Amino acid sequence: MHDAFIAPDVPVIVQGMTGRAGRTHTLGMRAYGTNIVGGTSPRDEDVGGLPVFRSCAAAVAATGALASVAIVPPLAVLPAIVEAIDAGIKTVVTITEGMPIHDAVAARRTVARAGARWIGASTPGMAIPGRMKLGFLPNVSLSPGNLGVMAKSGTLSYEVCHRLVARGFGQSLWVGVGGDPVKGTRFADMLPFYAADPATHALVIVGEIGGDEEEALGAAMLAQGFTKPVYALIAGQAAREGVTMGHAGALIHGNVGTVATKTAALTAAGARVFTRIQDLIEAVAAG
Amino acid sequence: MLLEHDAKELLAERGLPVPRGELLRAGQTPAVPAPAVVKVQVPIGGRGKAGGIRMARTPEAVVAALANLTGMTIKGHVVRACRVEATVDFVAEAYLSFTLDAGPGNIRVMMSASGGIEIEDATDDLLGESVDAELDTVRAAVDRLAARLPESLRAPLRDAGHQLAAAFFDFEAVLLEINPLFVAADGSWTIGDTKLSVDENAFPRQPRLQRVIEANADLYPEAALKLEQGFDFVRLDDNGDIGLVTTGAGLSMQLIDELLARGRRPYNFCDIRTGQFRGDPARLIKVLEWIAAGPSIRSVLINFFAGHTDLGEIARLLIAALAAVPQLQVPVTARFIGNGLEKARAIVAEAGDPIAIETDLERAIDLAIQRADARENADA
């Protein structure tokens, strides 16, 4: 199934490889086993001896890269996505915080037209634990196992997976979808992959208030007859309407996007929903 | 979400018809003549139902309404200012909105012949289309929807829809709602009430919107703070007794939920973004100062899950920050996990253990609570 979503040995380039964060995460990904084949930058600076190219087109032509991780400033994310897709990249991961929402709308359209995949706008990335990661999910929380993980929040998913790993439960495929209102890959988009994957025995969903992604996931579970156990955590019970707490997507308007609407939709589809981390951990451990 | 007053001023600057109005704080003198409507300026819908909108027929009534409304709390938001606005003559109240439909990344255009009420209650005659996020496409949807309205409303809604669609794109809005949209006997239209939600991420290329926040920083405390400081801090409960120094939006929100589930009152939300410290304790000092200003603070809980940041460096900055905020005289508990934990322990020990370190979050929460209780008992 990994191959259906992404091949563990897919050749990867890093856009913005020679910047401070670019360098750190490039070396971190390579050390974890990701097949990093080069990167782009306006400057020829050495990053672990990897080839540096001026453009995605040049990088793809020379390396055959099919995936890219873009580590560029907020207003440069959309151009980076467009450049990668035009060069033939099939999976783009963007990790930058602060991409404008209307840029994300344009990026979605570009990616969809090319039949490609985008994980972002702002996400710690994804991982097939023990094989590869695109982005910077922390190694201390990664471990091969049978849980499919999807998360809107990086830090909260680190915490949840760290506790699960300590109890012996690792992940089959972990996708950080990000906390942005408009994004490349939503919870429901991933459901068919997890359904078809024999290595995934259950799902752990790290959600939060705002938007309708959890509601859409519940609807997709019902429509697709998803039968694997689903454990969901939803953060933000204390949020006030009209006040953003960190994630632009975590904003309540009227009665839309509340813990109550998300819990109702997921529960109706057979998921178990928790408001405390440890309750979710114990439920997963109890099977 | 921008306050109604600011949204209306922005739309008026584009030449759109908005009733004359002004933003007033308690004690300020209205220039708009009575009769007038006095409306609380808080970033939420349903202000009328919540008692935040008053009709005032005389100048005295305007002053009285202003005095009554400022200071009240609506859905957790303290009213710091009101918009006093001239009344409008109309024969019909319509509804018009543009929403970014986040799932597909489309724009949803909605229209109704019966505006002026909570639109959730009026779904029967609410017309809508979700279309590609292009101005021409959205305007074509406006034309199609307007054609389904009663004849007297078609021209005004088409005209309003075309102009507001352009405003939606120019402001990079997430939501632009006009409810009610007043239509007069002669077919002219006026913006009755409006909601405009904008994207803070777009501020670097939307200087006009950024100036709105900066001009009334006291009315947008969270957004103004984020603009000025580059991180999030939200005061949740003025009498909360546990101050939080945390990083990561989701985990920070969750920590608040965990404290509330234990029946506690967290003082604040904070996403300090440790990755942006760059060796400077300034951000930590700011947050500790704000927490120290809380009248009921009895305990501080720090939570740093260091995926990449070095906890040794964080500990060094924390010790420096605590020294710079001597007015903070409560126990400090830190949950540290990740890179450099042993170095962090050594640095804290060398400083005389001003921070109790835990590696397990549940234990850290329990300890911070116990220490708050011990403090309360000692104070009593």
* Contact assignment for A246 to B269 by CB distance below 8 Å: yes
Region A96-111 average pLDDT: 96
Q: Looking at the predicted structure, is the pLDDT value of residue A2 above 60? A: no
Four-point Cα dihedral B4, B9, B12, B14, nearest 10? -110
Query: Residue A194 forms beta bridges with which residues?
Result: none
Model pTM score:
0.92
Which single residue is written with the structure tokens 């819990």?
A263
State how far the Cα of B42 lies from the Cα of B53, in Å rounded to an integer: 11
CB B102 within 8 A of CB A102: no
From A187's Cα to the closest Cα of chain B, the distance in A is: 10
State how far the Cα of B148 lies from the Cα of B112, in Å rounded to an integer: 9
Residue B264: per-residue pLDDT: 95
CB B170 within 8 A of CB B146: no
- Phi, psi (deg, nearest 5) at residue B378: -65, -35
Candidate from A105, A136, A254 with C-beta closest to B120 = A254
Region B25-33 average pLDDT: 89
State how far the Cα of A262 lies from the Cα of A250, in Å rounded to an integer: 13
Q: CA of A233: which chain B residue's CA is closest?
A: B254
State how far the Cα of B351 lies from the Cα of B12, in Å rounded to an integer: 58
Neighbours of A167 (CB within 10 A): 10
DSSP type of residue A98:
-
Region B235-248 average pLDDT: 94
Q: Identify the band that residue A253 occupies on the pLDDT scale cut at 50, 70 and 90.
A: low
CB A246 within 8 A of CB B253: yes
- Helix, strand and coil in chain B, % to nearest 5: 40, 25, 35
Region B277-283 average pLDDT: 93
Neighbours of B170 (CB within 10 A): 13
DSSP A99-151: --HHHHHHHHHHHHHTT-EEE-SS--EEEETTTEEEE---GGG--EEEEEEEE
Q: Give the pLDDT confidence of B94-132 residue by residue, as tens digits.
A: 999 999 998 889 999 999 998 876 665 555 678 999 999
Whether residue B175 lies within 8 A of chain A, CB to CB, comes out as yes
Q: Identify the band that residue A255 occupies on the pLDDT scale cut at 50, 70 and 90.
A: low
Residue B271 DSSP SS3: strand
Q: Identify the band that residue B22 occupies on the pLDDT scale cut at 50, 70 and 90.
A: very high
State how far the Cα of B191 lies from the Cα of B189, in Å rounded to an integer: 7
* Contact assignment for A154 to B253 by CB distance below 8 Å: no
Residue B124: per-residue pLDDT: 63
The gap from C-alpha B176 to its chain's centroid, in whole angstroms, comes to 16
* Contact assignment for A101 to B338 by CB distance below 8 Å: no
Q: Give the pLDDT confidence of A50-102 residue by residue, as tens digits.
A: 999 999 999 999 999 999 999 999 999 999 999 999 999 999 999 999 999 99
CATH code of the region B231-379: 3.40.50.261
Residue A244: per-residue pLDDT: 63
* Contact assignment for B249 to A102 by CB distance below 8 Å: no
CB B116 within 8 A of CB B54: no
DSSP type of residue B57:
-
Residue A3: per-residue pLDDT: 62
Q: Please give the interface size between A and B, counted as residue pairs whose CB atoms are below 8 Å apart.
A: 181
> Of the listed A25, A102, A162, A247, which one is catalytic?
A247
Which single residue is written with the structure tokens 């980076």?
A80
Q: Identify the band that residue B224 occupies on the pLDDT scale cut at 50, 70 and 90.
A: confident
Between positions 113 and 142 of A, the ones with CB within 8 A of B are 124, 136-138, 140-141
Residue A281: exposure state from Cβ atoms within 10 A (0-12, 13-18, ≥19): buried
CATH superfamily of A138-286: Succinyl-CoA synthetase domains (3.40.50.261)
* Contact assignment for B199 to A100 by CB distance below 8 Å: yes
Q: CA of A160: which chain B residue's CA is closest?
A: B251
* Contact assignment for B42 to A242 by CB distance below 8 Å: yes
The type of residue at B193 is: D
From A6's Cα to the closest Cα of chain B, the distance in A is: 23
Length of chain B: 380
* Contact assignment for A208 to B260 by CB distance below 8 Å: no
Candidate from B42, B104, B200 with C-beta closest to A248 = B200
State how far the Cα of B336 lies from the Cα of B357, in Å rounded to an integer: 7
Whether residue B232 lies within 8 A of chain A, CB to CB, comes out as yes
CB A54 within 8 A of CB A42: yes
Report how far apart the first and last C-alpha atoms of chain A are (Å, whole number): 23
Contacts of A258 in chain B (CB under 8 A): none
DSSP B58-112: SHHHHHHHHHHHTT-EETTEE---EEEEE----SEEEEEEEEEETTTTEEEEEEE
Which single residue is written with the structure tokens 């970033």?
B43
Return the CATH architecture of domain A4-119.
3-Layer(aba) Sandwich (3.40)
Domain boundaries, chain A: 4-119, 138-286
Contacts of B257 in chain A (CB under 8 A): 235-238, 275-276
Domain boundaries, chain B: 20-86, 92-198, 231-379
* Contact assignment for A100 to B205 by CB distance below 8 Å: yes
Region B44-57 average pLDDT: 89
State how far the Cα of B199 lies from the Cα of B182, in Å rounded to an integer: 27
State how far the Cα of B320 lies from the Cα of B311, in Å rounded to an integer: 14
Which single residue is written with the structure tokens 């839309």?
A256
The class level of CATH for B92-198 reads alpha beta
State how far the Cα of B42 lies from the Cα of B2, in Å rounded to an integer: 9
For residue B180, is the peptide bond before it cis, meaning its omega torsion is within 30 degrees of 0? yes
Q: Residue A134's closest CA among A173, A83, A188, A82? A: A173
Q: Give the pLDDT confidence of B152-209 residue by residue, as tens digits.
A: 999 999 999 999 999 999 999 999 999 999 999 999 999 999 999 999 999 999 999 9
Region B68-87 average pLDDT: 92
State how far the Cα of A209 lies from the Cα of A263, in Å rounded to an integer: 10
Q: Give the pLDDT confidence of B326-368 residue by residue, as tens digits.
A: 999 999 999 999 889 999 999 999 999 999 999 999 999 999 9
Q: Give the pLDDT confidence of A199-248 residue by residue, as tens digits.
A: 999 999 999 998 899 999 999 999 999 999 999 999 988 776 666 666 66
CA dihedral for A196, A202, A206, A210, sign (positive or negative):
positive
Length of chain A: 287
Whether residue A253 lies within 8 A of chain B, CB to CB, comes out as yes
Residue B45: per-residue pLDDT: 79
Average pLDDT across chain B, whole number:
93
Q: Identify the band that residue B268 occupies on the pLDDT scale cut at 50, 70 and 90.
A: very high
Lowest mean pLDDT among A227-241, A263-277, B237-251, B313-327: A227-241
Q: Residue B269's closest CA among B243, B289, B295? A: B243
Lowest mean pLDDT among A51-60, A170-179, A249-258, B214-223: A249-258
Task: Spell out the alpha helix ranges (H) of chain A.
Answer: 2-5, 20-32, 56-63, 77-86, 101-113, 154-166, 187-196, 213-224, 259-268, 277-286
State how far the Cα of A27 lies from the Cα of A33, in Å rounded to an integer: 10
From A61's Cα to the closest Cα of chain B, the distance in A is: 31
Residue B48: per-residue pLDDT: 86
CB B275 within 8 A of CB B308: yes
Residue B227: per-residue pLDDT: 87
Residue A251: per-residue pLDDT: 58
CA neighbours closer than 13 Å in the CB half-sphere of residue A148: 23
Q: With respect to CATH, is domain B20-86 assigned 2.40.420.20?
A: no
Q: CA of A104: which chain B residue's CA is closest?
A: B105
Region B68-93 average pLDDT: 92
Average pLDDT across chain A, whole number:
94
Q: CA of B256: which chain A residue's CA is closest?
A: A238
Q: CA of A244: which chain B residue's CA is closest?
A: B222
A102: annotated active-site residue:
no
Q: Fold match between A4-119 and A138-286?
A: yes
Candidate from B44, B132, B362 with C-beta closest to A278 = B362
CB B208 within 8 A of CB B10: yes
For residue A121, is the peptide bond before it cis, meaning its omega torsion is within 30 degrees of 0? yes
